[in-house]
Amino acid sequence: MHTPAAPPPQYVLSADGIQLATYQFGDADAPAVFLLHGFASSALANWHATGWVRDLTRAGLRIIAMDQRGHGASDKPHAAQSYSMQALVADVLHVLDAHLLDEVAFVGYSLGARVGWQAARDLPDRIHCAVLGGIPDGDPLKSFQIADARAHIEHGVDVTDRLTGTFLKMARSLPGNDLEALVALVEGMRGGPEPSRENAPKQRLLFATGSEDAILTASRALAESTRQGTFFEIPGRNHFNAPTSRAFRDSAIHFLTAGD
């Protein structure tokens, strides 16, 4: 079975007027899975190009994927206040409502997993289980140097901070990315809710992090702190290439099709 061709996006208008690009794959009557990509990626780059769409539809699942605000074919505001966690979770709810989805399984990676953690807490009647890939406790971008990133974007100043430089390089690697919007997202999420033992969702959760990812220990500890959390170590993968792992996909599909 070949990967289904990527359809043109269907747009959903957020509560604050942001156009959100969404994509559907699979049988409309099949159990629904909502996919949410990571920072500086997109629905098609994170899930379609890596084999997830092919394998999830092959497993008999329906897919709804969204480009998060600031990414892909969605609007890319430059104001930090457009990127609160509350706004990102509200986008998930608006897309579920627009596609008439009463209940879904959720699959998120990195930023998408952080949003998924909060969405599972805020929308327990809409999200019955979740796969959270590449998620640690706390905020992995808290040391991102916002002023240095803006100086680099606006004036070409060299970035000396390793993490900031890495994320800017990653952001540039995907055509169409808007660096100003992505830096605004980092700023907008600062000070918001962070995953911790104290605010864990109660749903069945699968955590998955690469064996070469620096957040592996923190991610495993977060899984152990949840009521129904299990952990899968993605062999031979780091934070940036984990979504390409067949072992990760197979583990997620087993979890999604096993039932509650």
Give residue 125's pLDDT band: very low, low, confident or very high (50, 70, 90).
very high
Q: Does position 140 have pLDDT exceeding 80, yes or no?
A: no
The percentage of the chain sitting over the pLDDT mark of 70, rounded to a whole number, equals: 98
Measured CA to CA, the distance from residue 222 to residue 136 in angstroms comes to: 7
Q: Are strands 104-109 and 204-210 parallel, antiparallel or unpaired?
A: unpaired
Q: Which residues contact 18 (CB under 8 A, 6 or more apart)?
A: 69, 74, 75, 77, 82, 91
Residue 166 resides in a domain: no
Residue 179 resides in a domain: no
Cβ pair 19, 115 in contact under 8 A: no
pLDDT of residue 170: 83
Supply the mean pLDDT for the chain. Answer: 94
CATH of the domain at 204: 3.40.50.1820
DSSP letter assigned to residue 84: -
SS3 25: strand
Residue 121 resides in a domain: yes
Residue 147 resides in a domain: no
Domain span at residue 226 reads 10-139+194-257
Residue 154 resides in a domain: no
Cα 13 to Cα 94, 97, 120, distances in angstroms:
8, 11, 22
Report pLDDT digits (tens) over 68-122: 999 999 999 999 999 999 999 999 999 999 999 999 999 999 999 999 999 999 9
Q: Does position 251 have pLDDT exceeding 70, yes or no?
A: yes
Report pLDDT digits (tens) over 198-230: 999 999 999 999 999 999 999 999 999 999 999
Q: List the structure tokens of 246.
A: 């067949």
SS3 248: helix
pLDDT of residue 1: 53
Q: Which residues contact 154 (CB under 8 A, 6 or more apart)?
A: none
Write phi, then psi, for 185 (nearest 5 degrees).
-65, -45
Give residue 2's pLDDT band: very low, low, confident or very high (50, 70, 90).
low
Q: List the structure tokens of 108.
A: 């998120």
Residue 158 resides in a domain: no
SS3 content of the chain, % helix, strand, coil (to 5): 40, 20, 40
Cβ pair 130, 107 in contact under 8 A: yes
How many domains are there within the chain? 1
Farthest CA pair distance, the chain: 53
